Amino acid sequence: MPASGADRVRRLVLDTSAYSHFRRGHAGVLDALVRAERVLVPVTVLGELEAAFELGTRARDNRRVLDDWLDEPFVDLVDTTASVARHYGRLFSTLKREGTPLPVNDIWIAAATLDCGGALLTFDRDFERIRGLDVMRLDI
């Protein structure tokens, strides 16, 4: 799905909501994926997806589809590194001081996005509260 043209997104980071809507064929997600040079999935998102699979009735099928997609040459996992942890610590403390905390997993996803210099594709408004985070928020 590599993109061409001026509207290319160099690093597109998917949160859990974006992956879920991708699987449902949401046109906005599909368009963003086509415009991306690289699609990145933080390991935190992988964990959230695995939890959802386990709670559902099609865990094996969902996991197979996800694994096949992660094997695509334009898709990479974003590991949680010491650098990501530093971003997390800064974000967590800033949000707490401002009285606007976010769910812990969302902060990890934002930290991974900041660390890799990507644009986060999401349906979640909460990410817009993080200064300096490049957010591409879609509506359902």
Q: What is the CATH number of the domain that holds 53?
A: 3.40.50.1010
Tell whether the model's pLDDT for residue 3 goes beyond 60: no
Q: What is the mean pLDDT of residues 19-47?
A: 97
- Mean of per-residue pLDDT scores for the chain: 94
Query: Looking at the 3D structure of the chain, how many domains does it have?
Result: 1
What pLDDT is stored for residue 2 in this prediction? 43
Cβ distance 109 to 42 under 8 Å? yes
Q: What is the mean pLDDT of residues 11-33?
A: 97
23 vs 25: CA distance, rounded Å? 5
Q: Which two tokens stand for residue 139?
A: 């509506």
Residue 27 inside a domain? The answer is: yes
What pLDDT is stored for residue 64 in this prediction? 97
What pLDDT is stored for residue 74 in this prediction? 97
What pLDDT is stored for residue 81 in this prediction? 98
Cβ distance 41 to 75 under 8 Å? yes
Of the candidates 105, 121, 128, the one whose C-alpha atom is nearest the C-alpha of residue 12 is 121
> What torsion do the CA atoms of 6, 10, 15, 20 make, to the nearest 10 degrees?
60
What pLDDT is stored for residue 52 in this prediction? 97
Residue 20 inside a domain? The answer is: yes
122-127, long-range: CB within 8 Å, 24+ apart, which pairs? 122/15, 122/17, 122/18, 123/17, 123/18, 123/21, 124/15, 124/17, 126/102, 127/15, 127/102
Q: Which domain holds residue 67?
A: 9-78+117-137
Q: What is the pLDDT of residues 64-96, one digit of tens each?
A: 999 999 999 999 999 999 999 999 999 999 999
Tell whether the model's pLDDT for residue 51 goes beyond 80: yes
DSSP conformation class of 81? -
Residue 98 inside a domain? The answer is: no
